[in-house]
């Protein structure tokens, strides 16, 4: 029973960390859009790899000392760790 509860808590953490990382994504878009002309601004919807890479480059260029990308990366890594731990509790348990 402990493993099920622990895995559930870890999966809730994955959701919370992912939500937090997404909120930071919106903050990054807003910060970059403040400094870009209207025709070069990012829309909040419709993300794909090259658009995300361009946003990251623009953020680093416009905010060389900004910490939002680092904070977002940390949240994604923590979410991945929680997901792996939850999966190991669920699939590797021998109960």
Confidence of residue 86 (pLDDT cuts 50, 70, 90): very high
pLDDT of 28 reads 97
- Whole-structure pTM value: 0.86
Q: Residues of the chain with pLDDT > 70: what percent?
A: 97
Nearest to 26 by CA among 53, 50, 48, 47: 47
Q: Please check whether residue 57 is in contact with residue 85, taking contact to mean a CB–CB distance below 8 angstroms.
A: no
Express each pLDDT in 26-53 by its tens digit.
999 999 999 999 999 999 999 999 999 9
Q: Please check whether residue 43 is in contact with residue 17, taking contact to mean a CB–CB distance below 8 angstroms.
A: no
Domain that holds residue 85: 2-91
Mean pLDDT throughout 22-28?
96
3-state secondary structure of 41: coil
Which H or E run includes 4? helix 2-35
3-state secondary structure of 70: helix
Give the span between the Cα atoms of 2 and 9, in whole angstroms. 11
Number of domains, the chain: 1
Give the span between the Cα atoms of 15 and 30, in whole angstroms. 23
Confidence of residue 1 (pLDDT cuts 50, 70, 90): confident
């Amino acid at each position: 029973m402990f493993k099920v509860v622990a895995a559930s808590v870890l999966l809730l953490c994955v959701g919370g960390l992912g939500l937090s990382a997404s909120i930071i994504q919106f903050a990054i878009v807003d910060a970059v859009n403040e400094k870009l002309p209207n025709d070069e601004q990012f829309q909040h919807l419709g993300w794909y790899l090259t658009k995300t890479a361009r946003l990251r480059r623009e953020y680093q260029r416009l905010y060389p000392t900004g910490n939002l990308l680092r904070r977002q990366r940390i949240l994604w890594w923590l979410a991945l760790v929680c997901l792996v731990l939850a999966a190991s509790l669920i699939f590797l348990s021998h109960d």
